[in-house]
Structure 1
Amino acid sequence: MKSFIFILLVVFSFVSQTVAAAPCATPAKTLKLATLAPEGTGMYKGLVAVQTKIKAQTQGCVDVQLYGGGSAGDEKDVVRKMRIGQLHGAALTGVGLGQIEPEIRVLELPFLFKDYAKVDSTYGQLKPYFEQKLNEKGFQLLGWAEVGFVQIFSNKPIKSRADLSGMKMWMWEGDALAQAMYESLKVVPVPLAVTDVLTSLQTGLIDGCYAPPLGAIAFQWPTKTKFVTKVDLVMGTGALILANSVWQTLAPAEQTIVKAVISEEAKGMVAQSRTDNQQSMTALQSMGLQIVTLTPEAQTELESISKEVATKLVGKLYPQPILDKTLALAGPR
């Protein structure tokens, strides 16, 4: 009897150790995610939370490795690296997402949204459409992560549309939407990688740039500019995506965890981004920048480019039906 009990204990011990050593339904894996967001920003902190929760909830079967602050390159580089498997996912802005699926840029048309309520309702209703479009291009859309309303940073005050004419403004390399917008405003575009903007402001290669307040501060652009014109030019979109090639290697239970964690954290990132951008406008004043607010007449004149830009990009970035649907959902300003 004692021998039998001893054998049972040995067997139980072996089984327990085996189960503890191999809890994963598939081989353990590490998801390599990139972002331009520097450490310390709300976006990066949200990704750290994603990293921690996924590892804990999958019992270490899925880990996350982060490449922040542009350490993996500009977004064009990040998309290329995802396509060849060097990276597995990213938190991308609209420019990076547009490298994968150009239609998504319809969400960044100038003066499309008048408030966050319209942003939320429009994004929510269009999410299934863009989930399908990105899936067809090899990626999972796991959560929206907007960067905020874009303002204009410059070294001279911009009080009207005429003040923009002839200005040398940064444009993200390959950004067809910014190109169309600049053509309408008669702005001189200077295509640069985002990592080259600060130096270009310092040397005078460009007179200004555009960004949400939080993003501008994170990249130190206000240290080389004197004015910020509050125009809510564009709602800078963004999303957390994962390549299908790695998504398909996850066990179904792991997919459920990864999707739930990222989706929930993305909502938190959006809420934090909105708070941070509002506080950043105050911070800009304390940094010595002058806040320029347009008169209602000047704002209306600037907004008049919206229809022209939207029409110009039909057939280049998106088809007419998705433009019509987006405009209907966003409603009038």
Structure 2
Amino acid sequence: MRYFWVLLISLISIPVNAEIQPLKVITIRIGTIVPERSSWMNQIYRFNEFIKKETKGNLKFIWWTSGVAGDEPEIIEKLKRNELDGAGLSGMGLGRIVSDVRVLELPFLFNDYEEVDYVRSKISPLLSKIFNSKGYELIGWVDQGFVYFFSKEEFRDISQIKGKRVWIWKEDPLAEALTEGFPEVTPYFEKVTLLKKILDEGMVDVIYFPPIGVISFQLYYGVKYVITPPITYGLGAFVMKKDVFDSLPDEYKEVIRKGADEFFPQFVRDVRRETEESISALNKFGIKKVTLNESTVSELRNRMRKVYDGLIGKLYPQYLLTQVLSTLAQFRVERK
């Protein structure tokens, strides 16, 4: 009976206007250079809505888009200073966390997306572990699509590009290394966030970019030709700081993983489809397609192979390059 009265008194003592406190809303701050109104962000916001719905609004991703958080090197610095919790990065930014990842962006490495998907699937577990060791959680891979040269003037062989000013993404060690394979050109180093400005002002003659990016970043008025075949594959991924990810309730982590598994593969498929559509759409802006001579492509492949070896120990270890090349060779044999 005593316990009954204690319980009754306790219940009576609770104010009648007391309310159950709602769960604390967790906000994840994410930086990216991707333009706000772009196909890439349209896909990301679908993922955002899924997260919001599944957590009843208690987990929110706030994206700082369009380079508001700076170029990718600056975004990485903000991650280190705990000013951001995650980032949507291209291979350049990912490489500043785990340089090994750039092995997937070597020029003239892949011929098509089937090769990309096969090789990436084989080394993805290893890369995920390396990201973890650096303090990051790899949430999911995305695509920029294949990357092409875009030029103010037509060129079909190396002699025609001699002396041209080629934009090189500032602070990108892979892009800088590629200039060694093009001694005929004059590199112009600048942030990607300033690319449209220098292109419009006539500071560069040639850029390299994914077609969908040329449209999203509104670079189409500054170029007249798209040069085929593509020179490389453009990698991308969404990463979070591991301490931030680990601090989330287990059910939220599961929602993020589920969302990544559901939306990111579709993200990749849509980007690839829109990349092809973008090449056609660029014709409306007067951009013509030009194909390099076969002899030129062959020479560039040979030049770039030397660049692969030159980056061993700088961006990636020998064993990883060997693994990628052997895996790719095996896939090509099996696919015949």
TM surpasses 0.5:
yes
The one-character-per-residue Cα deviations of 1:277-312 (angstroms, maximum 9, x if unpaired) are 100111111110121012323222222223111001
Which 10-residue stretch deviates more, 133-142 or 155-164? 155-164
User: 1:302 matched to which residue of 2?
Assistant: 300
Aligned to 2:110, the other structure's residue is in SS state coil
The one-letter code matched in structure 2 to 1:67 is W
User: 2:328 matched to which residue of 1?
Assistant: 330
Q: Supply the distance in 1 between the matched residues of 2:294 and 2:119 (Cα, whole angstroms).
A: 26
1:131 to 121, 125, 128: 128
User: 1:264 matched to which residue of 2?
Assistant: 262
The one-letter code matched in structure 2 to 1:163 is Q
2:212 to 211, 214, 219: 214
State whether residues 181 and 304 of structure 2, in contact with CA within 8 Å, keep that contact through their aligned partners in structure 1.
no
State whether residues 226 and 289 of structure 2, in contact with CA within 8 Å, keep that contact through their aligned partners in structure 1.
yes
User: 1:4 matched to which residue of 2?
Assistant: none
Unaligned 5+ runs, structure 2: 1-7
Q: TM-score, normalised by structure 2?
A: 0.90
Q: Supply the distance in 2 between the matched residues of 1:331 and 1:71 (Cα, whole angstroms).
A: 41
Q: Supply the distance in 2 between the matched residues of 1:280 and 1:302 (Cα, whole angstroms).
A: 25
Alignment size in residue pairs: 321
2:51 to 35, 51, 54: 54
Q: Supply the distance in 2 between the matched residues of 1:161 and 1:260 (Cα, whole angstroms).
A: 47
User: 2:66 matched to which residue of 1?
Assistant: 69
Q: Supply the distance in 2 between the matched residues of 1:113 and 1:47 (Cα, whole angstroms).
A: 26
Unaligned 5+ runs, structure 1: 1-6
The within-5 A match list for 1:1-333 is 18=20, 21-22=21-22, 24=23, 27-186=24-183, 187-331=185-329
**1:221 CA drift (Å):** 1.4
Q: Supply the distance in 2 between the matched residues of 1:35 and 1:272 (Cα, whole angstroms).
A: 19
Q: Supply the distance in 2 between the matched residues of 1:239 and 1:124 (Cα, whole angstroms).
A: 14
The one-character-per-residue Cα deviations of 1:104-131 (angstroms, maximum 9, x if unpaired) are 1111000111111111111111111110
State whether residues 39 and 216 of structure 2, in contact with CA within 8 Å, keep that contact through their aligned partners in structure 1.
no
**1:17 CA drift (Å):** 5.6
Which 10-residue stretch deviates more, 193-202 or 142-151? 193-202
Stretches of 4+ aligned residues off by more than 6 angstroms? none
Q: Supply the distance in 2 between the matched residues of 1:44 and 1:292 (Cα, whole angstroms).
A: 30
**1:146 CA drift (Å):** 1.5
Q: Supply the distance in 2 between the matched residues of 1:263 and 1:243 (Cα, whole angstroms).
A: 19
Q: Supply the distance in 2 between the matched residues of 1:43 and 1:35 (Cα, whole angstroms).
A: 11
**1:44 CA drift (Å):** 0.2
Q: TM-score, normalised by structure 1?
A: 0.91
**What RMSD in Å do the two structures reach over aligned CA positions?**
2.3
The one-letter code matched in structure 2 to 1:295 is N
The one-character-per-residue Cα deviations of 1:240-261 (angstroms, maximum 9, x if unpaired) are 1111121122011111111221
Q: Supply the distance in 2 between the matched residues of 1:247 and 1:56 (Cα, whole angstroms).
A: 19
**1:225 CA drift (Å):** 1.1
